[in-house]
Amino acid sequence: MFRKYRIRNYDFKLIVMLVLLSAIGILAVGSAEESLQNKQLFGVIAGVVMMIIISLFNYKWLLKLYWFMYIGNLILLLLVEFLGKEGGYGAQRWLRIGGFQFQPSETAKILLILFFAQFIMKHKEKLNTFHMITVCLILIAVPWYLIFDQPDLSTSIVILMIFCVIMFAGGLSWKIIFGILAVTIPALIIIISIAMQPGNEYLEQYQKNRILAFINPEEYSSDEAYQQLNSVTAIASGMLDGKGYKNNEITSVVNGNFVSQPQTDFIFAVIGEEFGFKGSLFVIVLLTLISLECISIARHATDLAGKIVATGMGGLIAFQSFINIGVATFMLPNTGLPLPFVSYGLTSVMSLYIGMGFVLNVKLHSKR
């Protein structure tokens, strides 16, 4: 379970970047909603502690529990289906156990990466066969549907993106990849077109409205596009150096209440307004460097499972960051995804730190 590691092989650079990014998040959350700042601080501290502890365990031993991870994940998602707590737009995504509330769809991202890392390594010789691809699709389809049905379209999209990264890292043939893309891209366009038709129930009405607001923001400027338009205005108003931390300008995104829940989905608007272009760029650079560091660790992993874990975590951070920032800058339709290590959310922050603990241990076992 444990091994003797050399401290010089520990990736302190990655830890520094993660803690620095989380520190910016704590400041931004405190500005957006001061009452939540201490909770975010607690989540980051607890996450860092769990990351360090997990990083000292042999990931090869922990991944032997991969079926327990998969089944445990399904149980949590099923509990949400029947006992979950409702939030905005009638979404049932949270599970309350005693006085503790968390979001299983956030932990699902990490658990699925860990599960498929070991599963694909066990069957790597058969990965490019029709049978094994079908099995993998079935295994991802079950948790994906449970998340999609909450409804949580944004997280279900990220799950699919992570799955594609995992399969690619696992050694899926380029011929198969291009063949799948040739079929799925036109199929997705057709499905989305059908789903947007009046009377169709594939998408919730609020999801359709968000897509329509993205296509025609002027028509929805007072409702569905309201938050994104104000987010763009807030980021632009920060200009180069920003308005200052916790500024008292009544036209600010926080003081003016132009964006609801800025501490979560629109935390980047707070950063852009208060820290300006320099602060926004610094956050983007940190997220990029963290993702690239995960990819670098994957390249030197001693086995396929370690490679998939590190690549999957790098892909998760990259995709989710792109979507969150894309929404805040109106490059993408509105979704409900947090900015990794920055947005408020104890489940998200702690889950990500647990995943990074596995990445750090992959680094400790990496080829010299």
Per-residue pLDDT reduced to its tens digit, 232-289: 888 888 889 888 887 776 666 666 667 777 888 889 999 999 999 999 999 999 999 9
* Chain Cα centroid distance, residue 74: 19
**Going edge to edge, which strands form the sheet with 85-86?**
85-86, 92-97, 100-102
> Half-sphere exposure (CA, 13 Å, Cβ side) for 6?
5
Name which of 20-24, 127-131, 284-288 the model is least confident about: 127-131
Whole-angstrom distance, CA of residue 51 vs CA of residue 22: 14
DSSP percent split of the chain into helix, strand, coil, nearest 5: 70, 5, 25
Q: What is the pLDDT at residue 192?
A: 62
Task: Give percent of the chain with pLDDT exceeding 70.
Answer: 82
Please list, in sequence order, all residues whose beta carbon lies within 8 angstroms of the beta carbon of residue 342, skipping any fewer than 6 positions away: 21, 22, 24, 25, 28, 267, 268, 271, 283
Whole-angstrom distance, CA of residue 348 vs CA of residue 340: 7
Residue whose token pair is 């339709």: 333
Sign, CA torsion 245/349/92/194: positive
Nearest CA to 348 among 91, 135, 104?
A: 104
Angle of helix 346-364 relative to helix 104-122, nearest 10 degrees, comes to 30
Query: What is the distance in angstroms between the CA of the first residue and the CA of the last residue of the chain?
Result: 21
Q: What is the pLDDT at residue 207?
A: 61
DSSP 8-state class, residue 224:
T
Angle of helix 104-122 relative to helix 304-328, nearest 10 degrees, comes to 150
DSSP 8-state class, residue 343:
S
Residue 359 has which token pair?
Answer: 């990445």
Q: What is the pLDDT at residue 151?
A: 77
Q: What is the pLDDT at residue 365?
A: 87
Q: What is the pLDDT at residue 213?
A: 60
Phi, psi of 85 (to 5 degrees): -95, 135
Phi, psi of 216 (to 5 degrees): -135, 75
pTM of the shown model: 0.90
Determine contact, residues 264/345, Cβ cutoff 8 Å.
Answer: yes
Whole-angstrom distance, CA of residue 307 vs CA of residue 319: 18
Average pLDDT of the residues in 85-100: 69
What is the 3-state secondary structure of 98-143?
CCEEECHHHHHHHHHHHHHHHHHHHCHHHCCCHHHHHHHHHHHHHH
Confidence band, pLDDT 50/70/90 cuts, at residue 341: very high
pLDDT tens, residue by residue, 158-211: 999 999 999 999 998 878 877 777 777 776 677 666 655 666 665 666 666 666
